[in-house]
Amino acid sequence: MDVLGVDACGKHGWVGIRLTDGAYAGSLVELRLERLIERGAEVGAIAVDMPLGLVEEGWRAADLAARVLLGARRSSVFLVAPKTAWQEQNYTAAADRCQELTGKRLSQQAWALRPKLLEARACWLADERMHEVHPEVSFCALADGVPLTYTKKTWRGQNLRRSLLAEAGLVLPDELGEADGIPVDDVLDAAAAAWSAHRIALGTANRVPEVPEPDAEGRLVEIRY
């Protein structure tokens, strides 16, 4: 059983980690997510570290639940604005719309994700194999429900994440092939997404919130892990 975990990686586009029966089976890098998915072809599940489902107003219950789950690491989950905010063409208009619908303005950090968020959302609406994940939620699950103390940007944090993946059977080799030039934290996030994709394919994955909201287009707004 093959699955794919995907993370956005700045100017490189998207990085994918492929698993076969839970074990590392290669990496993919593409500027466009649609192309990366095409290359993944026959995989049974695709987990993407990017907000996919959007609600009409208020904050997503999935983000609020993930923040509670992560405790001290809650800041790694940003609150995703309602659908119409992402349809605006500039930050000021989007922030104003977000204020109107949630009571708070959209952050510039979140707005910077707009191109990739819309790209991923379009793929998600077209492909039922795709699921939203959040790496820190996945790593928390890998650590038996304990949020990680050190961030993915630190030496200790990166080594801990790689060790947790290895203990779960996902051993990342020293030579990744296509992903050799991708930042370490993006590779680790894609690998955590792949671990979650494998659980999704097996039917053993969890979700937050327990009762998902409907997306504006009818799919469920949830974070799987």
At 33 the pLDDT is 98
Task: Give the Cβ contact number of residue 128 at 10 Å.
Answer: 10
Could you tell me which residues are beta bridge partners of residue 208? 223
Start-end ranges of CATH 3.30.420 in the chain? 2-51+127-207
At 216 the pLDDT is 81
At 215 the pLDDT is 94
Question: What is the rounded CA–CA span in Å between residue 160 and residue 166?
Answer: 10
At 199 the pLDDT is 98
What pTM, to 2 d.p., does this model score?
0.95
At 105 the pLDDT is 95
Q: Using an 8 Å Cβ cutoff, are 115 and 208 in contact?
A: no
Instruction: Please name the residues in contact with 203: beta carbons below 8 A apart, sequence gap of 6 or more.
Output: none
Could you tell me which residues are beta bridge partners of residue 26? 18
- Return averaged pLDDT per consecutive 10 residues of the chain, 225 residues in all: 97 97 98 96 96 96 96 91 96 97 94 96 97 98 95 96 98 97 98 98 97 92 98
For residue 25, which of 167, 177, 136 has the smallest C-alpha distance?
Answer: 177
- Give 58's DSSP letter: S
At 72 the pLDDT is 85
Q: Using an 8 Å Cβ cutoff, are 104 and 135 in contact?
A: no
Q: Using an 8 Å Cβ cutoff, are 137 and 148 in contact?
A: no
| 2-51+127-207 CATH | 3.30.420
Dig out the tokens for 9 from the structure: 């990686």
Q: Using an 8 Å Cβ cutoff, are 168 and 132 in contact?
A: no
